[in-house]
Structure formats: C-alpha cells, structure tokens
Amino acid sequence: MESRTITVTNASCKYGNLNLRECGREFFPDDVFGPSCRTTGVGHEITLDLDGLPSPIQTDIPIDKRTGKPRWLFRERAPVKYFVRLHQLEPGQKVVIQRLEKRTYKVIPMKYPSSLTNSTLEQTDLLKKDLPETRLISRRTNSIMSNMSPFTIEPETKNHRSRKAGNPNLFDPPEHSDTKAQSHKRPRKRANDLNGARWLSNSISVWSDIRKTMAEQELKHPAMFPSMLVERFIESLTTRKHKVVFDPFMGSGSTLVAARKMRKVGIGLELNPDYVALAKDRLDDLFNKSSHEAEYFIHKADAHKLLEYVEPNSVDITITSPPYWNILNQQRTADSKAIRNYGNLDSDIGTIGDYRTFIDCLQEIFEQVHVAMKPERYCVVVVMDLRKKDKFFPFHSDVAEMMQKIGFIYDDLIIWNRQAEYNNLRPLGYPSVFRVNKVHEFCLIFKTVNRREKVTRDREILGK
C-alpha cells in the first residue's frame, strides 16, 4: 500500500483544496484527470474515503483550461473541507493519503493514530457546536440546499433561509437537541450517500460525460458499456447498506468491476465462456486477487436459469444490458464497422429471428429477475432502439411495456449520449430517405413494488 503526505494549507481550510502536487502524477491513474468544467465532463473518478465522513465519495482531478495541466486538487472540495474542519486541522499540519487499491484512496490526519468512526463522532461535541460552517456547493446551486448534513439535499425551508440570511453561501451543520421529543425522531431515510453537488450532477437527464477507460476500449466485446456508467447508477440508487449488485447478461464484467470499486458484492451470469474468462481477468488485473475472494460471483450459465444461482429477494440493484435482438448479426450502418456478435451460442436469445418471440423470451428472464430482487429496489436496463432497413423497432418502449407487465414500476429514464464514441458517422439514406444516426442509449430505471404486492406477484411468476 503506497502513501503520500500532504501539507494542510490556508486554501485547504478555507476551500477544501488539498495540494495533490505533493503526491506526484504517478500516484493517480492516468484517466482521473478531467475537463476544467463539470458541464463538459469529468475524468474517470476514483473512490476517496475521507476519515470520519459517513461514506466514501467519487471524484476526479480537473485540468486547467488555459494551461492544460492538472490543477492538483480534488474536484469534490466540499467533503474535503468538511474533513479538514471535522479534525480541526490547521495550516502546516499533515494528512496522509493512502492508495488502498488502483482506484481507491483513503485520507487520514497524521495527528490521529486511527480513524474516527461514526460512533466516536456521536460521542463528541464536533457535530453539536464546534464544527464550523461549511460551504456546500457553488453559488448557483445553493438555493436548493437545506439545513441537513453536508451530504443531503431537500427543499429549503423558511426557517433555514432566515438563519443563513447573513451569508447565503454557508451551510449550517445539523443541530442536536437533548429533548425527549428530539431523541425519538426516526432518522431521515436516505436514497443514497451523495452530497448535494453530486446529487444535482447525477440528476441531469442526459449523461454525456460517460467514457470507457483505455483498458475497456482495448477489450474485444461487441456491446460493452463502461464501468463508469454502472458506478454512477450504483452511487445514485443505493446506500452503503445495499450490498448485492446483479447482472444476468454480464458480458465482459463491467457491472461486477463497478460493484467491486464501490465495495459491493457483484453477481454475474454469462453464457459465453470467453467472456466469463475475460471478466475474471479484468477483476484480477484491477484488484488484488486475495482481497475479493467473496466479493464477486461469476457463473457460466443461461440467464433463463438465474434462480438456480441467485436467491429470491436477495438482490439490491440490477444493472444490465440485454442483447439487442439479433442486431449484432447485421452490418452496422452508422459507422460501417465489422460485424461482431456474442458467438451465436445455443440458448443465446440474441439469435432469435422473430422480434416478438425475442421479447417474450426476454420477459421470461426478467420475471426471474423480479423474483430475485428485494422489494422497492431498482433495476436499470440499458437498451437502444433498432432499425432493420425500412422497419423501425422501438426497443426501449417495448422493454418498458414488458417490464410493467411483469410488475415493475417504470420509475424514470436517463439518456446516455455516446456521440463522442462515433468518429466515422455518415449521412444515412442520403439523398433518397432521411435516416437518424442513433448515438444514444436509453437507461430505463425500474423499481420493484412493496413487499406485500411483490410476494403476490412472485407467487404468480413461480406458479407458471
């Protein structure tokens, strides 16, 4: 485990700027460096565990727009500032940043021999009155923040506005009361562990900053989505207590790689033995082999038999991309790239010739996914609409209809803009008929129903 020391500066205390120049560029992955402005994208983020904070954060390192050189600070500065003030660090003191894994880092103050825990914090006065106010996010988003912890967002109240009238950019830490009524209040339910700035960024309906790493670009998989996409859904739709991530169409293992980075247990099913081996190699290359023996499970299996490998009501989130019918067996018209399919194996639903039969087979698989998932948990299905000559197939609409027929709630969708990946587009149909170059995919977000309704529906499915 490598480590570096960083000196706390005035900028660290005031703005949350840790001087990463002291670590050296070789201490961080090459792809962590991203554009200067978040609106134009971010680098491939690393996991940063700041000692004493309730959960790790995801962040990259921005590049200066004028010079093109790293700015040598973490983009997510509000949690860093909170960390500095939580430990009452002063300029001149040191913190240690440790590289636990290739993309996982931990920051601890040198003056503490061991990490603060949540239980330790609750026994101190830090969260009562001694923790200074903390800037949460930029001026343009402060209007939506409220009187909660630095990692929570909710509508602003009138009382909160009056309290912070002296400085609208400062955040008031939560106030604790010793009254009996206050002590009996139930903790607020959390949708995820994001801070307000990250919540806002992830809530934008079009994601244009998702990129494959250089290693992912070199993999020979015909329809792979990047682990960065999976990481964003995991951090947006789960909390620390949600541990099990499932992918019934695992492919090259992006879902399991992301789950491992997020300290969760990944389960994947894949029919093709070559991709099973590829997924295992990816995990072994990215992580210490001895550190993940019980943190992923890969099965060479037909997705129709998934309940033989996954227990009912055990999955916290499913993130998958099913075969796009048999579209991989035809020539790509958008960029004229060569045909690459999954191998056309037996039981591969991507070889079915009739579209409605394909949808019916897909439904049989997702019925079992419904049984495997816990109540009121999310299932993300990544798909793209299809065209065969003059016939258009609204695949995302048909999948949405199918999932609701099974019993899922259609909760929302995200557009994944992949235009940056297409560097050889041509005018389709020119000059005879206008055709659309599809450079986006639909990330359909579904949710299982409450426990009582799910039990009834699962019985119907299993009784077929």
The ranges assigned to domains in the chain are: 2-132, 143-198, 204-462
pLDDT given at position 224: 73
For residue 175, pLDDT over 80 is answered with no
CATH topology of domain 2-132: At1g16640 B3 domain (2.40.330)
306 CB-contact burial (10 Å; exposed 0-12 / middle 13-18 / buried 19+):
buried
Per-residue pLDDT band for 28 (boundaries 50, 70, 90) equals very high
Between residues 443 and 147, which one has the greater pLDDT?
443
pTM: 0.63
Share of the chain above pLDDT 70, in %: 77
pLDDT given at position 332: 53
pLDDT given at position 306: 95
For residue 116, pLDDT over 60 is answered with no
Amino acid, single-letter form, for residue 232: R
Mean pLDDT of 16-28: 91
Q: Where is average pLDDT lowest: 67-76, 326-335, 436-445?
A: 326-335
pLDDT given at position 110: 82
pLDDT given at position 7: 93
* 3 state SS for the chain: CEEEEEECCHHHHHHCCCCHHHCCHHHCCHHHEECCCHHHCCCCCEEEEECCCCCCEEECEEECCCCCCECCCCCCHHHHHHHHHHCCCCCCCEEEEEEEECCEEEEEECCCCCCCCHHHHHCCCHHHHHCCCEECCCHHHHHHCCCCCCCCCCCCCHHHHHHCCCCCCEECCCCCCCCHHHHCCCCCCCCCCCCHHHHHHHCCCEECCCCCCHHHHCCCCCCCCCHHHHHHHHHHHCCCCCCEEEECCCCCCHHHHHHHHCCCEEEEEECCHHHHHHHHHHHHHHCCHHHCCCCEEEEECCHHHHHHCCCCCCEEEEEECCCCCCHHHCCCCCCCCCCCCCCCCCCCHHHCCCHHHHHHHHHHHHHHHHHHEEEEEEEEEEECCEEECCEEECHHHHHHHHHHHHCCEEEEEEEEECHHHCCCCCCCCCCCCCCCCCCEEEEEEEECCCHHHHHHHHHHHHCC
> Do 395 and 420 touch, CB atoms closer than 8 A?
no
For residue 314, pLDDT over 60 is answered with yes
Q: Where is average pLDDT lowest: 101-115, 177-191, 248-262, 282-296?
A: 177-191
pLDDT given at position 27: 93
Task: Name the phi and psi angles at 268, rounded to 5.
Answer: -135, 145
143, 144, 148, 151: CA torsion to nearest 10: -110
pLDDT given at position 130: 38
pLDDT given at position 177: 42
pLDDT given at position 165: 40
| Pair of tokens at residue 315 | 């999955």
**CATH code that applies to domain 204-462:** 3.40.50.150
> Do 283 and 273 touch, CB atoms closer than 8 A?
no
| Pair of tokens at residue 146 | 């409220």
Strand partners, 266: 245, 296
CA gyration radius for the chain?
Answer: 24
For residue 117, pLDDT over 50 is answered with no
For residue 453, pLDDT over 70 is answered with yes
Mean pLDDT of 219-247: 88
pLDDT given at position 144: 34
| Pair of tokens at residue 66 | 């004028």
Mean pLDDT of 100-116: 74
**CATH topology identical between 2-132 and 204-462:** no
Residue-wise pLDDT tens digits, 251-279: 989 999 999 988 899 999 999 999 999 99
Mean pLDDT for the chain overall:
81
CA–centroid distance for 99 within its chain: 21
pLDDT given at position 331: 59
CA–centroid distance for 307 within its chain: 25
pLDDT given at position 358: 95
